[in-house]
Amino acid sequence: MWAAFFVVVASRFKTGMDNKGFVLQRGERRLTLDRPRVMGVLNVTPDSFSDGGRFYRPESAIDQAAGMVEAGVDILDIGGESTRPGAQAVSVAEEMDRVLPVLETLRGRFDVWISVDTSTPELMRAAAAAGADLLNDVRALTRDGALAAAAELGLPVCLMHMQGEPSTMQQDPRYDDVVNQVAGYLQERRDAAVSAGVNAANILLDPGFGFGKTLAHNLALLRALPHLAEAGHPLLVGLSRKSMLGKITGKAVDQRLGASVAAALLAVQRGAHIIRVHDVPDTVDAIKVWHAVTDAPARAE
Ligand code: 9MG
């Protein structure tokens, strides 16, 4: 019995859990995931699907980030490559030119966690040197050199599932069993990352809503979040303003606030640890309500 107890305790240390849950670590900086965290989307691309490239100018992106920080964001996610369905690839130089000046300015100004949304090893290295805390890779470290870069840098990393590439991924996506295939892929990429030297405690998994998936696939995955959490890693999810919400509500991308907040809460309820959103103030409020209900004593006197 004691042997079993020690195995459980040791495995909790090994996977980065303390008694309150998961903890991401970047050097001395720690982000506890004992409560749902809000990641704010900061696209510095001319063609992002949800904000139409409004924050493409570095000054606009910085103002936008300042608003998110004031609203209580936990992580800023800066991306210089559009990954919306149909988007074309961007050169490494262009992606670096878009992201690095914004990252450098934000790092000098704010203490919140900063994530860089990239699959490009050169940018991963430059971003780490500029003070990024987290790598968010929608290609799950599959690009040449990405596994080695992530292992060498020691930053927490999010491994996301995508079927295909953004330019074609929404052309008739198919699965035999979407939940088990996505779970299997994430397990495979997690094992590859750990074998390359990434600390298992610093790995987040993400089913990749909308990345090569129909509405039915996305809904099956949302329902199955508790099953995906059984892999023993914190879950990051992005549902904000996505076309699945447009399909459900019939609303255009700039009219999906209510649907996005509802989807975020449903994900939190099913065990998501980090919610990637455009509308930070409304999501922060929704999570406050969620806390008030879940933290309340079972019976009020
Ligand atoms: C960059 N990006 C766009 N959508 C995303 C999602 O759902 N998850 C993650 N991790 N990144 C995303």
Whether 138 lines ligand 1, by a CB cut-off of 6 Å, is: yes
Amino acid at 82: S
pLDDT per position as a tens digit, 161-207: 999 888 888 888 999 999 999 999 999 999 999 999 999 999 999 99
Whether 276 lines ligand 1, by a CB cut-off of 6 Å, is: yes
Known catalytic residues are 242, 276
Q: What is the pLDDT at residue 88? A: 83
* Ranges of the chain with pLDDT below 50: 1-20
Cα–Cα dist 203/46, whole Å: 30
CA of residue 211 to ligand 1 center, whole Å:
9
Whether 81 lines ligand 1, by a CB cut-off of 6 Å, is: no
Cα–Cα dist 249/244, whole Å: 9
Helices H, strands E: what count in the chain? 11, 11
Question: Which atom of ligand 1 sits closest to the CA of residue 236?
Answer: 10
CA of residue 138 to ligand 1 center, whole Å:
6
Cβ neighbours, 10 Å, residue 27: 8
| SS3 category, 119 | coil
Question: Which atom of ligand 1 sits closest to the CA of residue 208?
Answer: 7
Q: What are residue 137's phi and psi, to 5 degrees?
A: -115, 110
Token pair, residue 115, equals: 């994530």
Range 36-294 has CATH code 3.20.20.20: yes
Q: What are residue 157's phi and psi, to 5 degrees?
A: -140, 140
Half-sphere exposure for 41 (CA within 13 Å, toward CB): 24
Cα–Cα dist 233/236, whole Å: 10
Cα–Cα dist 99/30, whole Å: 23
Q: What is the pLDDT at residue 55? A: 55
Token pair, residue 146, equals: 């990405």
Token pair, residue 104, equals: 């450098």
